[in-house]
């Protein structure tokens, strides 16, 4: 009796397909985000009418040189859509940048200093996290006014504890490493240790968190305008347009649907970009570990 030798080939993971998936998601998110950012930045220069000009009867349907009709005052919807994205984009990006920067500083100091100083910073971050962000922003905006810079500062302050807790957690792990202890024994200044030894180790998680915060910031900024606490008329803003024209949704939907669609697409594009960056960095980490 003969015995057949059976060789079972090991299962090889399809690394190529995962890499293609990561690259595709990253590419789609980057292209979508860039297109909408360009639309927001260049749109005000492409408007066929001044955004505040009355060009027809209120809630006029599309036609006669008005591709999207008119809004509740008789203003050209297309012109206001083209002009209304700039505020959403710059405020969302500024909010994200400021919030991430502030949270990074707080997290680095809290994680490295520890002790009394670290405890105070952690307590302050916990206090901020205890307030719902929208309630926190609305409270101060209703008292101090509707300045865009104030809104950016308040929303950024609301994001800083989220970033700070992440950075603090990574910093606490990094300060226990031998290269940090060696730098301290050599008398390297603390500021240099923070910037050159600890900060590079938190870049990966920080980039992923930044993408998520940018996505959330778009919703918060647009939501504040919708509630009437953001950009004020007669300025054009996508969130404000939704609030202004929702009464005519049944017979002239474009004045509401188009800005809602653009906000949703911008949010989806930035979220896809953030997910793509996260998966890309995860793939690079797995490859290095291998």
Phi, psi of 209 (to 5 degrees): -65, -35
pLDDT at 13: 47
Distance CA 64, CA 70 (A): 11
* Residue showing tokens 């300045």: 147
Measured distance CA(173)–CA(117) in Å, rounded:
18
What's the pLDDT score for residue 285? 52
Domains of the chain (ranges; CATH) run 40-57+65-289 (1.10.3720.10)
d(CA 62, CA 75): 12
pLDDT at residue 87, rounded to an integer: 93
Which pair of structure tokens corresponds to residue 17?
A: 């397909």
Q: How far apart (Å, rounded) are the C-alpha atoms in residues 221 and 229?
A: 9
Distance, in Å, from the CA atom of 162 to the CA atom of 148, rounded to the nearest integer, reads 22
The answer to which of 69-83, 181-195, 273-287 has the lowest mean pLDDT is: 273-287
Does the structure show a pLDDT above 50 at 4?
A: no
161 CB-near residues (< 8 Å, 6+ apart):
103, 106, 125, 126, 128, 129
* Residue range 139-169, pLDDT digits in tens: 899 888 889 999 999 999 999 999 999 998 8
The overall average pLDDT reported for the chain is: 85
Give the pLDDT band of residue 263 (cuts 50, 70, 90): very high
Question: What pLDDT, on the 0 to 100 scale, is given for residue 77?
Answer: 95
Q: What is the pLDDT of residue 106?
A: 92
Residues in the chain: 290
Q: Give the rounded distance of the alpha carbon of 16 from its chain centre.
A: 30
Question: Higher pLDDT residue, 185 or 237?
Answer: 237
Inform me whether the pLDDT recorded for 187 exceeds 80: no
Q: Which residue has the higher pLDDT, 209 or 182?
A: 209
Q: Which of 204, 208, 177, 209 minimizes the C-alpha distance to 193? A: 177
Average pLDDT over residues 226-245: 91
How high is the pLDDT of residue 201? Answer: 81
- Decide if pLDDT at 20 tops 90: no
């Amino acid at each position: 009796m003969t015995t057949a030798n059976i060789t079972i080939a090991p299962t090889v993971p399809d690394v190529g397909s995962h890499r293609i998936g990561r690259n595709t998601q990253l590419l789609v998110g980057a292209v979508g985000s860039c297109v909408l950012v360009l639309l927001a930045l260049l749109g005000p220069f492409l408007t066929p009418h001044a955004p505040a000009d009355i060009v027809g009867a209120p809630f006029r349907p599309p036609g006669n040189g008005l591709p999207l009709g008119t809004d509740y005052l008789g203003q050209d919807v297309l012109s206001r859509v083209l002009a209304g994205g700039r505020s959403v984009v710059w405020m969302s990006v500024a909010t994200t940048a400021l919030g991430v920067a502030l949270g990074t500083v707080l997290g680095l100091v809290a994680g490295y200093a520890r002790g009394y100083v670290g405890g105070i910073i952690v307590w302050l971050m916990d206090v901020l996290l205890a307030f719902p962000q929208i309630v926190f922003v609305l409270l101060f905006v209703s008292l101090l006014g509707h300045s865009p810079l104030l809104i950016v500062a308040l929303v950024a302050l609301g994001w800083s504890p989220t970033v700070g807790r992440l950075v603090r957690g990574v910093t606490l792990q990094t300060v226990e490493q031998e290269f940090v202890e060696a730098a301290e024994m050599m008398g390297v200044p603390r500021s240099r240790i923070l910037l050159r030894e600890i900060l590079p180790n938190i870049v990966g998680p920080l980039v992923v968190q930044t993408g998520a915060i940018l996505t959330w910031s778009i919703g918060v900024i647009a939501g504040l305008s919708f509630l009437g606490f953001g950009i004020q008329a007669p300025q054009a803003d996508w969130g404000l347009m939704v609030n202004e024209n929702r009464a005519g949704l049944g017979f002239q939907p474009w004045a509401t649907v188009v800005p809602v669609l653009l906000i949703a697409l911008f949010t989806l594009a930035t979220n896809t970009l953030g997910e793509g960056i996260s998966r890309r960095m995860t793939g690079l980490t797995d490859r290095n570990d291998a």
